[in-house]
Amino acid sequence: MQDKKVSLGDVLVIGFAMFAMFFGAGNLIFPPFLGRIAGDQWFGGFLCFIIADAGLAIMTVLAMIRKDGTIWSMTDRLGKIPSKLLAIASIAFVGPILCIPRTCATTFEMGMQPLFPGLNSWIFAAVFFGLTYILTIRPSAVVDIIGKFLTPALLVTLAVLVIMGIVSPIGEISDVATTDSVMREGILAGYQTMDVLGALAVTLIVVGNASSKGYESHKSCFDVIAKASIVAVIGLFVVYCGLAYLGATTSMVDGAANLNQTALVVFITEALMGKVGVILLSLIVTFACLTTAIGLVSASADFFSEVTGNRVKYTTLVLPICLFGFVISNVGISSMIAIATPVLNLIYPILLTQIIMSFFSDKLKKDSIYRGAGLVTMIVCGMGILADYGVSGCSIVYSLPLSNFGFFWLIPAIIGGVLGALVPNKQKVK
């Protein structure tokens, strides 16, 4: 089979789709807040943010497509049962349980309520998930719909907002940061987006789309997605940089100091463009959330269809996932996030260790290395969760190196991997 030559048009469409699905509305709120607290150090903080956010996300995409493009290639060295549990938990939380309903709730709170205060959330959710269902039901069209139509609209609205902020800055940029470590805040903000989980879903979608476009061999699929990843990273870099700058211009503005992330975004748009700004924000949030919801529903349906051995079809799963999101987005979303957070704090680091080690799979031959790193990471992160709930003695994990950056589990994971390497190998080397 002859490899298809990579087309610039395909690279741009897939790249734009990746950008839109990574961007999401949740990520919209982080760069402006970081810029505000960083003052004139905003660019340094932004660089740390983009590395910890887009850097880790694209690393995950590349790790997956280096192998077979599935989540199983990231988890299979843990063993059959742990691998399946981690994969299912990861997709469940990045999809139906948390992120999909949150896209709707965020759109309603940031995009719709400022314009239509009396709008009923149930009616809005029905419209939102109705659109999501229609745009997701045809899997081969998902990436093209996002990449050709929704993403350009998203980019235009973002460009207008950023250009307005550059031409007419909201205020002067403070020469004093309001945080002890701008670098730490940038890394933490990027880490907290948890886009590595999003990358699992994004990769599932773009691999399928690349295949439908004729990139059927592993080499051609890798080439087109790797080049599309560059497009996505450039887009994320430019947009996040602009948003961080806008936040920095509020660092000396009265009334901005006590605003949370969401309120600051609203404040910036109102300060720059008044009522027009509120409408623009509504467009940005709606496009960002809709594109993310489409991607996540598509990936979730595809994944769970595969888990059932395709006994339950993709098209059959799209509807219940949308209905689940419809209900959760209106009832108990805050409680759901509170429940989900400790679980995410557990599975996210375990997944990261497996992804990082996958780049060295040629050197790390023994499965016990992966299992040792995963087990120790699970124990340490579990202690961190218990410490957050006030369990005595568990807070010792926050004294570990890199805890200020949210990576207190990293050194223990390395130790766990080393211990795993010492376990006698009783199985075939892969």
Query: What distance in Å separates the CA atoms of residue 168 and residue 155, rounded to the nearest whole number?
Result: 20
Separation between Cα atoms, residue 93 and residue 115, nearest integer Å: 30
Look at residue 430 in the predicted model and tell me its pLDDT: 47
pLDDT truncated to tens, each residue of the chain (430 aa)?
Answer: 457 788 888 899 889 888 888 886 567 888 999 999 999 999 999 999 999 899 989 999 998 998 877 888 888 889 889 999 998 988 888 888 888 888 888 888 888 888 888 899 899 999 999 999 988 886 556 656 766 676 777 778 788 888 989 998 999 999 888 888 898 889 888 877 778 888 888 888 888 888 888 888 888 888 999 999 999 999 999 999 999 999 999 999 888 888 878 788 888 888 888 888 788 778 878 877 888 888 889 889 988 998 888 899 988 999 999 999 999 888 755 666 677 778 878 888 999 999 999 888 888 889 999 999 999 999 999 999 999 888 888 989 989 998 888 789 999 999 999 999 998 876 554 4
Question: What pLDDT was estimated at residue 58?
Answer: 92
Q: Phi/psi of residue 260, each to 5°? A: -80, 180
CA–CA separation, 113 and 121 (whole Å): 9
User: What is the pLDDT at residue 378?
Assistant: 95
**pLDDT at res. 49:** 93
CA angle 287, 92, 133 (to 5 degrees): 40
pLDDT value at position 294?
A: 86
Q: What is the reported pLDDT for 429?
A: 47
Q: Specify whether the CB–CB gap between 381 and 409 falls below 8 A.
A: yes
119 vs 110: CA distance, rounded Å: 13
Residue 392, pLDDT score: 84
Give the per-residue pLDDT at 25.
Answer: 56
Domains with residue ranges and CATH for the chain: 8-328 (1.20.1740.10), 342-430 (no CATH)
